[in-house]
Amino acid sequence: MMRLGAESMRDHMLGDPVLTPRNGFTVVRRGGLWCFASTKFDLEVFNHVSGYGTFVEPTQRAIDAVMKHYDRVGRPVAIEILTPFVSRSDRALLERNGFRDTRVLFQCHVRVNARPPRTREVRGLVIEHVRPSDGPRYGRLATRGFGHRDRVSLVFERGWIRQLRRDRRTNSFIGVVNGRDAATGTIVLRPKIGGLYSGSVLPGFRGRGVQNAMIAARLAYGWSRGVRAFYSWSDPESSSARNLRDEGFVTAYEVHMYTRG
């Protein structure tokens, strides 16, 4: 789950011939941990460490390698921690190195039960499977659904376009209500797990059950391909969190950010 999230973030930051160099994006591994950095953005979304205590063993050697890397890059160190999955002793090791839990980034919702996903019907809604050639339409709609267009949203907009063109494991969907584009949602598949990303609904179409239907459609797509474990992130206790729970997800973890100084 955390590794798939890191791979998706890497694919957003790298590979764009214009935005990657313009934003000074780099993604490297130090001590096994994935280190994301930008020389142009101060935001933690582009400057953080993934994998500590999840898909990489948490060691002093790894912490030392990460701190040395960010000293060289000129950015503060921020490490994502999946709680309570990462043990107290592994978090204590960070604290002995001067790190503190500064905030909750996301809630992590998982669905691992054996019950097939429900079919959700919404009047006037047709859910389209996005073709690679329709990537720009999807990317622009997702940006609108999240409510802003700026330098940050452009990174993700172009990132989805690239992934749809290059990786068949990335499958996106557009919800069309009475002929109008209304909602987006992506599922990133691996053999045993699927991650739900980029779920958005335009303001004029909210409150009708559209997001629930988009979640259910992506679950059904993964289920039909043999996947039985799914996850998704959301802001804490948001409408998205509630909708995910409606579709059988359980809020199992939180992603916290640990920073120094």
> Is residue 148 pLDDT above 80, yes or no?
no
Q: Name the pLDDT band for 233 (thresholds 50, 70, 90).
A: very high
The pLDDT of residue 176: 98
Please list the residue range(s) of the chain that carry CATH number 3.40.630.30: 125-228
Residues 70-85: tens digit of each pLDDT: 999 999 999 999 999 9
Read off the pLDDT band of 65 (50, 70, 90): very high
Res 127: pLDDT: 98
Preceding omega of 84 cis (within 30 degrees of 0): yes
Q: What is the mean pLDDT of the chain?
A: 96
Considering only CA atoms, give the Rg of the chain.
Answer: 19
Return d(Cα 16, Cα 34) in angstroms, integer.
19
Q: Is the pLDDT of residue 261 over 80?
A: no
State residue 149's pLDDT score.
78
pLDDT exceeds 90 at position 137? yes
At 147 the pLDDT is 82
pLDDT of residue 71: 96
Report the predicted TM-score, pTM, of the whole model to 2 decimal places: 0.93
What is the mean pLDDT of the segment spanning 27-55?
A: 97
pLDDT value, residue 146: 87
DSSP summary character for residue 117: P
Pairing of strands 194-201, 230-234: parallel
Residue 83, helix vs strand vs coil: strand
At 74 the pLDDT is 95
pLDDT digits (tens, 9 = 90+) for 83-125: 999 999 999 999 999 999 999 999 999 999 889 999 999 999 9
Q: Return the residue matching tokens 């622009």.
A: 140
The percentage of the chain sitting over the pLDDT mark of 70, rounded to a whole number, equals: 100
Q: How far apart are CA 242 and CA 164, in angstroms?
A: 28
Report d(CA 220, CA 242) in Å as an integer: 19
Both tokens assigned to 84: 């309570």
The second-level CATH assignment, the architecture, of 125-228 is: 3-Layer(aba) Sandwich (3.40)
pLDDT at 73: 95
The burial of 180, by beta-carbon neighbours within 10 Å (0-12 exposed, 13-18 middle, 19 or more buried), is given as: exposed
User: Which tokens sit at 225?
Assistant: 């391909």
Q: Has residue 155 got a pLDDT over 90? A: yes
Task: Check residue 68 and report its DSSP letter.
Answer: H
Q: Which residues contact 197 (CB under 8 A, 6 or more apart)?
A: 8, 185, 186, 187, 188, 232, 233
